[in-house]
């Protein structure tokens, strides 16, 4: 199965960051990727809090969403690292027959069942699979002024035996995509880094400490902008970061290099203004 | 052939865990600074878990379940701890949690360490013995939830998920921005909510108390 996809944008993007959804759709349209929103979607049961609180709830709710995708005969396309790991790990667990039977038992009252055929893709993975030639053909405004720090985020890389978009230590896919747009990559992730988003609201002192660790390493390499494919990391870097480095979501970088105007993709909603770079 | 003797569990639980101040924490300038400001989170006396006490609150069945995740593989090498972003700021001590889980010396009704994990999976990735600390913490958190030990933030998030099917609130700004970018209204249909309720009736999140 490949495209058309079911687009699953999660909770954070549609509620708080609709401009990221808008730019993602714009990029997918330009790249000729067909999609439609996943019908009857709920939250993916995010993998940091809710999944750990109710493991069976997580397994059943994700099995329900995977079964919807399966009955439509399409792959799921997620815009968020949290959704990606949550759904991907569930799809992996549900490949086991015993686990699947248990999940289907819990799922029975809803009248759905899952046979283990759905696949989950990350936005970054779809862009990578399209390839350098296809993407570079669409670029009309190379982003040569950008000195990017790359932050793929935890849940698109780890656990690496399940999340297979990229390798876990010194990942390269995101920096490759950034280079296709003409940007310079000054900082690549050499060591598992975290944005601290998982502890926002739970323990803010630790959360901010983790964020500062990460941003300081970016600053030391002379980055003038951060690139991430994860909306949770985006929120951390944009709202909580004190050093003031602007941040771009992957679709925003691609949209800008495809010739979209900042107004069109809502860059005005960023707290750390991107105009300072241009 | 002689059968292998089963270790006496009571005996294992008699052995006290030595009360050891974490050296790295005392050396850490951040720790000293925070401690001077009167932040009690870092002083061992403020910890709700008494380090010298051996707690056997983990039921035997639960301990067995943990052993299924091959906790015995953990050699306490401690590689999981320095890669932990939370540990550097006085958060979770991964190796210690693994040790405590292994011997059952963890009071899940009050333990706060397990909730200081960002679930970044760096520890599981680093582990050279194939143990999965992040998954062990996941299981411990699940059991802690059953005992009512959940941070308020996650309680609120769960309540929002149960009532609206989404983990983030839909506000007036959501509506305004979605209209501005020509995106369809964000709605979880009644049928979807009905299905979600049916799932929650039969699973943990619907059962536990979230006051």
Q: Which of A17, A66, A58 is nearest to A40 (CA)?
A: A66
CATH code where residue B33 lies: 1.10.1060
Both B122 and B183 in a single domain? no
B79 and B163, same domain (yes or no): no
On chain B, the residues whose CB falls within 8 A of the CB of A165 are none
Write out the residue range of the structural domain in which residue B156 sits.
Answer: 152-207
pLDDT attached to residue B59: 55
Which of 1.20.1050.140, 2.40.40.20, 3.90.950.10, 1.10.3720.10 would CATH assign to domain A5-123? 1.20.1050.140
DSSP label at residue A116: S
- Which residue in B125, B142, B168 is closest to A11 by CB distance? B168
Q: For residue A191, what pLDDT band results from cuts at 50, 70 and 90? A: confident
Give the per-residue pLDDT at B118.
Answer: 94
CB contacts of A206 in chain B (<8 Å) are: 86, 89-91, 116
> What are the structure tokens assigned to A118, written together?
């759905």
Pair (B132, B55) in one structural domain: yes
How far is Cα A10 from Cα A41, in angstroms, rounded to an integer?
Answer: 8
From chain B residues 125-154, the ones with a CB under 8 A of any chain A CB are 125-126, 132, 134, 137-139, 141-142, 145, 150-151, 153-154
Burial class of residue B17 (count of CB atoms within 10 Å of its CB; 0-12, 13-18, 19+): middle
**Quick check: B20 pLDDT over 80?**
no
Q: State how far residue B52 is from chain A, nearest Cα, in angstroms.
A: 25
Contact A55/B at CB under 8 A: yes
User: What is the predicted pLDDT for the residue at A254?
Assistant: 97
Which residues of chain A neighbour B33 with C-beta distances below 8 Å?
none
Q: Is A71 on the interface with B (CB under 8 A)?
A: no
Going by pLDDT thresholds of 50, 70 and 90, the confidence category of residue A1 is: very low
B127 and B169 co-located in one domain:
no
Residue to substitute from A18, A152, A268, interface B, most B β-carbons within 10 A: A18
Size of interface A-B (CB pairs under 8 A): 201
For chain A, say whether B208 makes contact (Cβ under 8 Å).
Answer: yes
Helix axes A81-93, A55-72, angle to 10 degrees: 90
For A212, the token pair is 């500062």
In terms of average pLDDT, the best of A18-32, B29-43, B120-134 is A18-32
- The answer on pLDDT for A144 being more than 50 is yes
The ipTM is 0.94
Neighbour tally for A119: CB within 10 Å = 17
DSSP summary character for residue A236: I
- The predicted structure's pLDDT at residue B60: 54
| H or E, element range at A227 | strand A225-228
Mean per-residue pLDDT of chain A: 93
- Whether residue B88 is found in the same domain as residue B189: no
What distance in Å separates the CA atoms of residue A174 and residue A124, rounded to the nearest whole number?
7
Residue among A91, A166, A170 at smallest CA distance from A123: A166
Each residue's pLDDT tens digit, A192-247: 899 999 999 999 999 999 999 999 999 999 999 999 999 999 999 999 999 999 99
Taking residues A117-136, what's their average pLDDT? 95
Mean pLDDT of B101-126: 88
Tokens of A54: 């109710």
- Burial label for A186, CB within 10 Å (0-12, 13-18, 19+), is middle
Mean pLDDT of the A96-118 span? 91
Q: According to the 3-state scheme, what is the secondary structure of B9-44?
A: HHHHHHCCCCCCCCHHHHHCHHHHHHHHCCCHHHCH
β strands within A41-195, DSSP E: 75-78, 120-122, 147-150, 184-187
Are B162 and B119 members of one domain? no
Closest residue in A to B159 (Cα–Cα): A50
pLDDT, one tens digit per residue, over A254-271 is: 999 999 999 999 999 999
The answer to whether A217 and A193 are in contact (CB under 8 A) is: yes
Question: Is residue B4's pLDDT more than 70?
Answer: no
The reply to whether B72 and B167 lie within a common domain is no
Q: Do B122 and A154 touch (CB under 8 A)?
A: yes
Q: What distances in angstroms separate CA B191 from CA A211, A233, A253, B32, B203, one per listed residue? A: 40, 32, 37, 55, 19
Which B residues 97-126 touch A at CB under 8 Å?
Answer: 115-122, 124-126
Contact A158 B86 (CB under 8 A): no
Instruction: Measure CA of the first residue to CA of the last residue in chain B; give whole Å.
Output: 56
Task: Tell me whether domains A5-123 and A132-276 share a fold.
Answer: no
Q: Is residue B40 domain-shared with residue B124, that is, in the same domain? A: yes
Please report which confidence band the pLDDT of residue B67 belongs to, taking 50, 70 and 90 as the band edges.
low
pLDDT of residue A9: 93
Q: Which top CATH class is A132-276?
A: alpha beta
List CB contacts (< 8 A) between B132 and chain A: 159
């Amino acid at each position: 199965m490949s495209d058309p996809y079911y687009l699953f944008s999660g909770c954070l993007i549609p509620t708080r960051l609709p401009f990221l959804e808008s730019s993602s759709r714009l990029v997918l349209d330009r790249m000729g990727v067909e999609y439609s929103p996943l019908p009857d979607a709920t939250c993916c049961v995010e993998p940091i809090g809710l999944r750990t609180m109710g493991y069976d709830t997580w397994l059943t709710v994700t099995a329900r969403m995977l079964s919807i995708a399966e009955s439509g005969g399409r792959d799921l396309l997620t815009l968020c690292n949290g959704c990606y790991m949550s759904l991907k790990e569930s799809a992996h667990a549900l490949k086991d027959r015993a686990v699947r039977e248990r999940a289907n038992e819990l799922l029975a009252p809803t009248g759905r069942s899952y046979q283990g055929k759905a696949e989950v893709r990350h936005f970054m993975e779809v862009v990578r699979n399209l390839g350098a030639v296809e993407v570079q053909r669409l670029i009309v405004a190379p982003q040569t002024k950008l000195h990017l720090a790359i932050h793929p985020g935890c849940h698109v890389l780890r656990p690496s035996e399940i999340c297979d978009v990229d390798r876990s230590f010194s990942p390269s896919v995101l920096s490759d995509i950034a280079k296709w747009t003409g940007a310079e990559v000054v900082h690549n992730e050499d060591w598992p880094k975290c944005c601290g988003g998982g502890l926002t609201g739970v323990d803010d002192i630790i959360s901010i400490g983790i964020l500062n660790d990460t941003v300081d390493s970016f600053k030391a390499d002379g980055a003038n902008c951060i690139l991430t494919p994860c909306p949770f990391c985006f929120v951390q870097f944009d709202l909580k970061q004190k050093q003031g480095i602007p941040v771009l979501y992957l679709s925003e970088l691609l949209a800008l290099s495809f010739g979209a105007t900042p107004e069109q993709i809502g860059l005005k909603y960023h707290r750390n203004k991107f105009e300072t770079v241009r | 052939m002689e059968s292998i003797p089963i270790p006496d569990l009571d005996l294992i639980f008699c052995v006290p865990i030595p009360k050891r101040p974490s050296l790295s924490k005392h050396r850490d300038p951040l720790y000293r600074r925070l401690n001077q400001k009167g932040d009690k989170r870092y002083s061992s006396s403020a910890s709700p878990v008494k380090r010298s006490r051996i707690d056997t609150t983990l039921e035997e069945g639960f301990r067995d379940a943990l052993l299924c995740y091959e906790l015995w593989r953990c050699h306490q090498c401690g590689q999981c701890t320095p890669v932990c972003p939370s540990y550097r700021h006085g958060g979770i001590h991964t190796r210690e949690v693994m040790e405590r889980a292994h011997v059952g010396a963890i009071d899940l009704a009050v333990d706060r360490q397990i909730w200081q994990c960002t679930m970044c999976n760096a520890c599981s990735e680093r582990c050279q013995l194939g143990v999965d600390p992040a998954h062990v913490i996941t299981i411990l958190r699940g059991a802690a939830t059953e005992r009512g030990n959940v941070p308020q933030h996650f309680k609120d998030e769960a309540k929002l998920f149960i009532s609206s099917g989404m983990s983030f609130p839909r506000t007036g700004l959501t509506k305004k921005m979605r209209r501005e970018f020509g995106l369809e209204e964000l709605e979880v249909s009644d049928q979807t909510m009905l299905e979600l309720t049916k799932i929650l009736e039969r699973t943990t999140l619907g059962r536990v108390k979230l006051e």
